[in-house]
Structure 1
Amino acid sequence: MLQRLATFVDGDKPMSRLAAAGAGVVLLLGGVIVATTAATPRQSAVASATDCLTSTGTAWRLDPEQQRHARTILAIGQQRQLPPRAWAIAIATAAQESSLRNDPTPDRHGSSGLFQQTPPGWGTREQVNDPTYAATAFYTALSKVPDWQTLPLTVAAQTVQRSAYPDAYAKHTATALAALRELADTELDCDQITAGSAAPAPRNPDGTWPKEGCVVRPDPTTNRGCLTPRTAHLIAQAKGAGYANPGCFRPSGPGEHPKGRACDWMMTSGGAATGAQRARGDAMAAWAVANADRLGIMYVIWYRQVWSPAEGWHSYTNPFGGTGPSGEHTNHVHISVY
């Protein structure tokens, strides 16, 4: 039945040839062919809460002091009538900056308190060491960030904090969401809290993806070749979400790159991503999955894992035998679109 459907696409991930938009997909994973069902029009491609929490770190078990400060952050956000996404950003920020502990001792940069704010810009020393004042000041600054409601959590937090570790906030998303569920009794859409929303790509009236040629010339990321309009839209949305330009078109080889339908976002200059680089890759992969239905994303590969709308995240082994950071996708996030 599978016959010739299984073809190697991309060198990043083997996929089937798509007979038409919305056609079934055949995956060859680790040498095993697995038939799947493609997303129907408007089918949600948002990962489950479990997937989201897994991709954004392990939630802490908050002790009484940390719970007290998390409740203060929640209370101030509710008083200011801000949405739950703002509460999550604030808790994740405080988790990164102070481990949700109110240390009044200035660090070597002069920062202290729950959000590690620095006088005089954030207030007096006494004020920044007051959790209620500190949370209020954070929310005030967050509210002034353009499009903070749709920026990835880590980008919104970094815009406020201007940290030396700009991508570290993402790893505290699980802690923030767990705290909201426990302390605010609020069920949240994990992916949208984490990733932010992208503007949707154009669809046909019936909700299917229009067939597109490689007509955007040249590919602005390589200054050669071409991209499909949907790929160009993906790049623009990723840039708006705070991610740098990828590399997309390749002149030869199997798969989506020569068709202008795939891009690689490098997290390092070559080696495997660790620390803040890994956190940024995690954040981008979560952003892509959360917005897959809006952007027409066919699959995402990151850090030995591959995601597709039909199967979610699962283990990835390069079928071409590729190893190292490039072959295992530990230095870049790969995204292909329909």
Structure 2
Amino acid sequence: MLEPSPIRSPRSRLLRFGAAFVVLLAVAGYVAVQYVTGGAGAPGCRVVSGDDDGATYEFTPEQAVNAATITAVGTARNLPERAVTIALATALQESALRNIDYGDRDSLGLFQQRPSQGWGSAEEIMDPAYSAGEFYEHLVEVPGYTRLPLTVAAQRVQRSGFPQAYAKHEPDATLLAAALTGRSGATLTCDGRPGATRAKGPDAVRAALVRDFGRDVLQPLGAEVGASADSSPAPSASASGGSGGRTVTLPVGDGPGTGEDAERRGWQLAHWAVANASSLHIERVAYAGRQWTAGNTDSKWYPVGGGSSHGSERAPGPVRITSAR
């Protein structure tokens, strides 16, 4: 004998519908936040080896910004790539390249530096450029640090309770350093989904360049922070044209250093811009006949115009950083 189906009241059906609708809204909101912020909890950036050995490292936009700052501060001090590798491996271990405001006792920031131990005030340590500078100040005082094992060099600065922990980060730090110092060109990409809470536009790009590299980085532009893009005597059109008012142009072949030095500087600035794409609303970066565009998820730099880039990769030329509309 068949049992009669229970009678469901309209109120019960309405409650179930309402609960399902709330869940859908929550899921949609989460997806939207992840898209807008660049996916703070998931990798949105990727670096590959320039040696064709298949090595890769995936990381988040937040980590990319901090890694780019650490690298820029080191190269602005004319320190070798080895110093940058040591700094990046240390920050990977101490904070996972996140600028955290907590830690063991009063430890803070990328390198977990302690105000009570003379590293600076809490506010200073939470400034990534400052904390990176402090790390390098101590690193260069270590005799022969470039020849020491990474764990030894890092430990003499940090005096950690787990000195061997830095070793596991050396491969990833080496990949990051090669890309962010510009030695390996066209090896770093990010999704480039723009953040919702940061300033955007060419002035914000210039300000961030000065924050990380120092004011000298703008000298080739002939422009100061806050100046309009039209005030620069250098050409300001992007690779695809039509966006001069949104493009910061950084000539790298006309100043001191030519050839490989200029090319390396160019790729450093280009990779720095990609690493900061989400936070600064950068839409496109072009250099040496190649172009990265926000929203591409196949981790590639494409030849400008879709043609072959052979012969143009090493040609001198400016780095062009175009902000989103």
TM-score w.r.t. structure 1 length?
0.37
Structure richer in helix, relative to its length? 2
Point out the structure with max Rg over C-alpha.
Answer: 2
- More contact order relative to length (CA 8 Å, sep ≥ 6): 1
TM-score w.r.t. structure 2 length?
0.38
